[in-house]
Chain A
Amino acid sequence: MASPEVLLTNLLYGLTIASALVLISSGLSLIFGIVGVVNFAHGSFGMLGAYLGFSLVMATGSFWAALLLAPLIVTAGAIVMERLTLRPLYGLNPLYQLFLTFALSLVFSNLVLLVWGGDTVSIPTPSYLRGFVSIFGIAYPTFRLFVLVFSACLAAALWLFIGRSAWGAVLRAGLHNMEMVEAFGINTRALVTAVFAVGAGLAAVAGVVMGAMRSVNPEMDLDLITSALVVVVIGGLGSFRGAVIGSLILGTAESFGAQLLPGLAKFVVWIVMAAILLWRPEGLVKDA
């Protein structure tokens, strides 16, 4: 049996994994909820954010410039992508949108290889965020604590926006019945574009923080989209609250799985997903 210290260590590690997952998966979930598209290029937004973040840190020497500018650039690109490629396909067979985003993810992969090459890079963290803080006697990396708090703040802000603001009400209404929202004279096209852009921006933020904690490489898009899809399926398609809960489940399952069932770490995640789907096929949360 693992000691309380080991359990707490794994819980903290799991929470950090979850906090990064919230950023990448909440965007995917909202895009599906509003746009009705399973966006296969969502992992690419994260990867592009990470590579742009790397280049920006190299050019400016500032991690904060990367954390701010890389998501903005990706957001701008996502708006162009949504308007030029996805918009003409709305209302058609959803498979077209699926194929399109899949094709775009391949284009982005090759774009990354072309611009940055196939070498792995990583985003340097600010020197004052290196080192440790003590949490219940456990030395925890300062940068990870920053990621945890930063992601939690972003998630809370988004939660409040969706739950309390007038635009959030429109968003929630759109998740249930887009035609009704349109009937009230609300510009749903702008709403769709905005959600797509915010989702892409959140993915890029996740790319930058993950690029600093882990590495930046041309295969990370696949890793990001796979994790995000699992989270969204567990949490419930289209639900922000579901994305948060799904991330917490996946993060802790991965962390405790590696500790308690070393050979089955990744397998545990799939077992958890299968069990949840058998219990609640629609995912854990239905609303926004």
Chain B
Amino acid sequence: MESTDDRTASGEGTESGVSAAQLPTRQEVEDFLYREAGLLDEWRLEEWLELLTDDAVYQVPPTDSPEGDARNTLFIIADDAVRIRSRVKQLLGKFAWAENPHSRTRRMIANVRVLGAEGDDILVTANFAVFRMRYESVDTYIGHYSYKLIRGAEGLKIKERRAILDNEALRPHGKISFIL
């Protein structure tokens, strides 16, 4: 993260990439992330999909290797765009039993920072606390998001979304059955 800050500070935005002047403000990113959180908490998953690029990636690294690479480390979730869409379709269908009936979720997004750019990717980080309520228990997922956002004709879009857990294990949660 810090090296990215340095790169931005030293003005290293390639000509084809995003210059410092074009970086979104923190407020614009916050508005975007709050909107995303609202769509997810309200189970408006089809609309959430519209926030993603066609080649989007959604990952949750394992709790013992938060910095791991999904190509050589066993993740909890490592979805490509096809699998994200399938996940949403399943969650909105009848047979994803772990989310049928749907759990309630409530997301707190904080400490939003625009870290800089890498080519066209806008690097953003934000802390999260996501509460999942089901069968009268509350499970708390704590961590931070690492986003790569793209600015397109329709505004910001998500190209990469990594939810990095601080929880040392999914205990007692047992699962990540909704979109974290």
A binds B: no
Tell me the A residues contacting B by CB distance below 8 Å: none
Tell me the B residues contacting A by CB distance below 8 Å: none
